[in-house]
Amino acid sequence: MTPIESLLSSLDWREVENVIAGDLPYATHEGFMELLGVRLRCYRLSTGQAIIHQDDMVALLGLLDVNLPTSGDEKMAPMVSV
């Protein structure tokens, strides 16, 4: 188990209310962790994968102005997979 997986497994996961299930993975649980003074919003997907909200990762990394890569006219989803 990696250090980040260990951190994520120790979170107090709460079930997400009003989930709308679809064909794509969706958040079933949410939790928070603090790392270096930054509060990170974490989500457990229907696939079992844990992700950290992209905005929080940007704050953690100290990036103030990020130009996200785009695919056509759509920006990437605001999440970072771990």
Whether residue 76 is predicted with pLDDT greater than 80 in this model: the reply is: no
| CB-CB contact of 44 with 28 (8 Å) | yes
Q: Name the residue ranges covered by the structural domains of the chain.
A: 3-16+25-65+75-81
Question: What pLDDT, on the 0 to 100 scale, is given for residue 6?
Answer: 87
How distant, in Å, are the alpha carbons of 18, 22, 31, 37, 54 from that of 57? 26, 26, 15, 12, 5
Confidence band for 62, pLDDT divided at 50, 70 and 90: confident
How distant, in Å, are the alpha carbons of 10, 66, 69 from that of 75? 31, 12, 7
Mean pLDDT of all residues in the chain?
A: 81
Question: What pLDDT, on the 0 to 100 scale, is given for residue 3?
Answer: 85
Distance CA 8, CA 46 (A): 15
Whether residue 43 is predicted with pLDDT greater than 90 in this model: the reply is: yes
Question: What pLDDT, on the 0 to 100 scale, is given for residue 77?
Answer: 53
